[in-house]
């Protein structure tokens, strides 16, 4: 393992830059800096940002509060990508402005599905034995 990599193999720099981009996006959305009716009507959590190895692409995983109107929120974010990329370029010190891509965060749904499976009578019966 390289000295600047995590056990999962991701570079510390990629994780650090991803977290900086996540903070900037979250702040912009929280403060309502994007002039969009859909985004103004929803609280949006930026749960994770994954950077490409060359730091030129950022994939932001987002989730509207209570998972309401996710498709509508993703469309609004994609419509305002140019503005958000410009703000990130201004606030995060990178050699190149990164290109943003927005995806819905499915990890909460997956966690709930696994939890429901573990609580199902069939699995509970097997675990009790």
32: helix, strand or coil = coil
pTM for the predicted model, two decimal places: 0.76
5-43 pLDDT tens trace: 555 557 899 999 999 999 999 999 999 899 999 999 999
Which has more confidence, 6 or 123?
Answer: 123
In a 3-state reduction of DSSP, which class is residue 120?
Answer: coil
- pLDDT confidence of residue 101: 96
Residue 94 tokens read as 């990178």
Burial bucket for residue 60 (CB in 10 Å: 0-12, 13-18, 19+): buried
Does residue 79 contact residue 35 with C-beta atoms inside 8 Å? no
What pLDDT digit, counting tens, does each position of 46-86 carry?
999 999 999 999 999 999 987 678 999 999 999 999 999 99
Q: Which uninterrupted H or E stretch holds 62?
A: strand 57-64
Mean pLDDT of 83-100: 92
């Amino acid at each position: 393992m390289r000295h600047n990599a995590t056990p999962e193999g991701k570079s510390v720099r990629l994780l650090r830059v991803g977290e900086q981009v996540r903070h900037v996006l979250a702040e912009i959305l929280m403060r309502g800096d994007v002039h969009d009716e859909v985004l103004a009507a929803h609280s949006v959590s930026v749960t994770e940002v994954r950077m490409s190895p060359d730091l030129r692409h950022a994939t932001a995983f987002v989730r509207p509060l209570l998972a309401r109107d996710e498709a509508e929120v993703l469309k609004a974010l994609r419509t305002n990508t140019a503005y958000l990329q410009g703000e990130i370029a201004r606030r995060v010190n990178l050699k190149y402005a990164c290109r943003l891509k927005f995806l819905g965060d499915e990890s909460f749904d997956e966690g709930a599905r696994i939890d429901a499976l573990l609580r199902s009578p069939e699995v509970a019966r097997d675990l009790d034995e």
